[in-house]
């Protein structure tokens, strides 16, 4: 099975969120299953500056973008020994501070940047054919299935190749004004509600969903939720149309990267049978955040993109009451300026109880997983969510809202039977969040019960093996199915 796995971010090369972790770890797990995987992503500034092992391939691609011919130089790097990644270098598009934007917001030319990326990837796929499957991820790659089908005569070498499209987050549409239409090289018949038009704009995600040979999303629960108007982000009709081709496959965890026994970022490694290291990590975290160093106070951690999705409004709603509880709270996040400002003001108000760091800091994210007792994810919706699974491995008990992948991976703790691996709440409000945090804090006072809960959490296995097998089975099924015209 030869698979070209295309994504706008891939760990460890470039990351803004879980998409990078998911694609990077899936690729490695597929290689372990004997699948021949090649990654494709843009050559961002961060990769060019931080990666010394970039090889010239001698390949260049040239594609038309709004009447101009744009050139991409193809570089190659390796993740480990068996996983090659093609990097498409076009400095006018990708040699920038951020992947998708900077502090002022998204880059104004994102439609053009990712149209170029999609077209260049197809050209590269054609030149390096044969491929059984091109596996695309999120809106930045959504043009690939569209152009491959609409302009199939230009891509003879990959005519038999199937395209799988994974939706990591249905809320991000890649929507652009009609003025960007000339970038795409698509006939006007495709700017209709049946195809890429969406309330007067271009919706790239919708195109990907319509033209791919099959779709996946990142948990079974989310695959069900997005069929409904409540969670379908206006695209539930498209999801229902393609229901028989949609699969929910849960993301896994890369335990080479997220494991308290080996984690190089944390103060002291530890394991389920000896938790002394976790106490040292907790002290370290309290020091980093300038909080009183107390072993006994429950320490709640949160690492999150600061976006509406993540439940920050109900966290802020509950803050006053939370601050009356016996706990400390440490937050790491970056994103929406409004949330940054709201959170930034909190330590001044509650200096003994809350620490906030704004920014993207991978090492600190690991330290929070290790040093906290409880990990908070009050998401409004969550396609999969990775941090709750990382937390389990670190014996840091998740408190989550029952949505998407959070609901699929966390079972509510039952104090009488001892069943469950975390704490879940359903209603989306400050009050329900507060109630779940209170329940978790109450259990921390029962040392024996908490120890047992930690041991159970640490024994949970969300490794990629099982999910990677599901992807491989789907690739095989696709490869055997005749191409369908739309």
Number of Cβ within 10 Å of residue 189's Cβ equals 9
d(CA 345, CA 379): 22
Write down the least CB distance from residue 231 to ligand ADP, Å: 15
User: Binding segment for ligand GLC among 78-86, 362-370, 383-391, 407-415 (CB under 6 A)?
Assistant: 383-391
What strands, in cross-sheet order, belong to the sheet with 214-217? 55-65, 68-79, 83-89, 36-42, 2-6, 133-137, 162-167, 214-217, 246-248
Alpha helices in 192-262 (DSSP H): 204-211, 220-225, 236-241
Residue nearest to ligand GLC according to CB distances in the complex: 18
Number of H helices, E strands in the chain: 19, 20
Write down the least CB distance from residue 424 to ligand GLC, Å: 16
Write down the least CB distance from residue 403 to ligand GLC, Å: 10
Number of Cβ within 10 Å of residue 458's Cβ equals 20
- Cite the beta strand spans of 369-420 per DSSP E: 374-377, 397-401
Q: Which is nearer to ligand GLC, 19 or 40 (CB)?
A: 19
Q: Which is nearer to ligand ADP, 185 or 369 (CB)?
A: 369
d(CA 469, CA 432): 37
**Binding flag, residue 377, ligand GLC (CB under 6 A):** no
d(CA 85, CA 3): 12
Size of the site for ligand ADP (CB under 6 A): 18
User: Binding segment for ligand ADP among 104-112, 199-207, 385-393, 415-423 (CB under 6 A)?
Assistant: 385-393
**Binding flag, residue 46, ligand ADP (CB under 6 A):** no
**Binding flag, residue 360, ligand ADP (CB under 6 A):** yes
Which does residue 136 bind out of ligand ADP, ligand GLC, none, counting CB within 5 to 8 angstroms by kind? none
d(CA 311, CA 304): 10
d(CA 77, CA 181): 33
Task: Please identify which residue in 236, 313, 361, 470 interacts with ligand ADP, judged by CB under 6 A.
Answer: 361
Number of Cβ within 10 Å of residue 431's Cβ equals 12
**Binding flag, residue 17, ligand GLC (CB under 6 A):** yes
Pairing of strands 354-358, 214-217: unpaired
In this structure, what DSSP letter does residue 156 have?
A: G
For the segment 155-194, give every residue that binds ligand GLC (CB under 6 A).
Answer: 168-169
For the segment 245-304, give every residue that binds ligand ADP (CB under 6 A).
Answer: 303-304
Q: Which two tokens stand for residue 446?
A: 């029962």
For 391, the enclosing helix (H) or strand (E) is helix 387-393
Please choose, from the candidates 248, 39, 64, 266, the residue with its C-alpha nearest in 3D space to the C-alpha of residue 151. 64
d(CA 423, CA 81): 40
Q: Which is nearer to ligand ADP, 148 or 380 (CB)?
A: 380
Q: Which is nearer to ligand ADP, 365 or 399 (CB)?
A: 365
Task: Please identify which residue in 208, 301, 385, 395 interacts with ligand GLC, judged by CB under 6 A.
Answer: 385
Q: What is the dihedral of CA 7, 384, 196, 86, to 10 degrees?
A: 0
Q: Which is nearer to ligand ADP, 161 or 217 (CB)?
A: 217
Please choose, from the candidates 137, 131, 108, the residue with its C-alpha nearest in 3D space to the C-alpha of residue 9. 137
Alpha helices in 212-260 (DSSP H): 220-225, 236-241
**Binding flag, residue 333, ligand ADP (CB under 6 A):** yes
**Binding flag, residue 334, ligand ADP (CB under 6 A):** yes
Which does residue 218 bind out of ligand GLC, ligand ADP, none, counting CB within 5 to 8 angstroms by kind? ligand GLC
Q: Which is nearer to ligand ADP, 17 or 72 (CB)?
A: 17
Number of Cβ within 10 Å of residue 160's Cβ equals 13
Task: Please identify which residue in 196, 218, 235, 297 interacts with ligand GLC, judged by CB under 6 A.
Answer: 218
**Binding flag, residue 36, ligand ADP (CB under 6 A):** no
Size of the site for ligand GLC (CB under 6 A): 14
d(CA 284, CA 196): 51
d(CA 185, CA 64): 9
User: Binding segment for ligand GLC among 267-275, 347-355, 379-387, 466-474 (CB under 6 A)?
Assistant: 379-387
Task: Please identify which residue in 362, 450, 460, 463 interacts with ligand ADP, judged by CB under 6 A.
Answer: 362
**Binding flag, residue 378, ligand ADP (CB under 6 A):** no
Write down the least CB distance from residue 441 to ligand ADP, Å: 23
**Binding flag, residue 7, ligand ADP (CB under 6 A):** no
Task: Please identify which residue in 29, 90, 249, 386 interacts with ligand ADP, judged by CB under 6 A.
Answer: 386
Please report where in the chains the tokens 């809350």 appear, as a residue: 354
The footprint of ligand ADP (CB under 6 A) covers 17-19, 21, 303-305, 332-334, 360-362, 365, 384-387
The footprint of ligand GLC (CB under 6 A) covers 17-19, 22, 168-169, 218, 251, 382-386, 405
């Amino acid at each position: 099975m030869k698979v070209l796995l295309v994504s706008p971010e891939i760990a460890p090369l470039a990351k803004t969120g879980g998409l990078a972790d998911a694609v990077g770890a899936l690729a490695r797990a597929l290689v372990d299953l004997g699948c021949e995987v090649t990654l494709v992503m843009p050559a961002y500034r961060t990769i060019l500056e931080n990666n010394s092992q970039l090889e010239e391939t001698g390949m260049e691609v040239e594609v038309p973008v709004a009447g101009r011919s744009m050139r991409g130089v193809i570089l190659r790097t390796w993740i480990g020994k068996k996983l090659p990644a093609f990097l498409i270098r076009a400095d006018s598009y990708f040699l920038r501070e951020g992947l998708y934007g900077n502090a002022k917001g998204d880059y104004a030319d994102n439609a053009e940047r990712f149209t170029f990326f999609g077209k260049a990837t197809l050209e590269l796929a054609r030149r390096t054919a044969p491929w059984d499957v091109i596996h695309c991820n999120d809106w930045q790659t959504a043009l690939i299935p569209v152009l491959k089908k609409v302009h199939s005569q230009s891509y003879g070498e990959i005519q038999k190749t199937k395209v799988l499209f994974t939706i990591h987050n249905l809320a991000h549409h890649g929507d652009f004004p009609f003025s960007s239409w000339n970038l795409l090289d698509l006939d006007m018949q495709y700017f209709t509600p049946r195809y890429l038009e969406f309330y007067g704009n271009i919706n790239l995600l919708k195109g990907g969903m319509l033209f791919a040979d099959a779709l996946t999303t990142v948990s079974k629960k989310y695959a069900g939720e997005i069929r409904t108007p409540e969670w379908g982000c206006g695209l539930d009709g498209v999801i229902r149309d393609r229901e028989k081709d949609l699969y929910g496959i849960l993301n896994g965890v890369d335990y080479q990267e997220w494991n308290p026994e080996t984690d190089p970022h944390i103060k002291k490694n530890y394991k389920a049978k000896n938790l002394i290291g976790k106490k040292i990590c907790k002290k370290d975290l309290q020091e980093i955040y300038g909080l009183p160093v107390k072993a006994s106070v429950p320490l709640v951690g949160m690492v999150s993109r600061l976006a509406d999705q993540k439940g920050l409004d109900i966290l802020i709603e509950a803050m006053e009451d939370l601050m009356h509880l016996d706990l400390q709270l440490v937050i790491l996040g970056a994103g929406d300026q409004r949330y940054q400002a709201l959170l930034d003001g909190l330590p001044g108000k509650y200096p003994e109880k809350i620490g906030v760091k704004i920014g993207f800091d991978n090492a600190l994210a690991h330290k929070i997983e290790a040093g906290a007792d409880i990990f908070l994810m009050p998401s409004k919706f969550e396609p999969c969510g990775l941090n709750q699974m990382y937390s389990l491995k670190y014996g840091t008990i998740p408190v989550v809202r029952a949505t998407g992948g959070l609901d699929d991976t966390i079972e509510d703790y039952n104090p009488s039977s001892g069943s469950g691996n975390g704490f879940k709440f359903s209603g989306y409000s400050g009050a329900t969040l507060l109630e779940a945090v209170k329940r978790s804090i109450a259990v921390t006072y029962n040392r024996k019960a908490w120890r047992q809960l930690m041991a159970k959490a640490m024994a949970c296995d969300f490794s990629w093996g099982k999910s990677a097998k599901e992807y491989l089975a789907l690739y095989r099924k696709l490869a055997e199915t005749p191409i369908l015209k739309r």
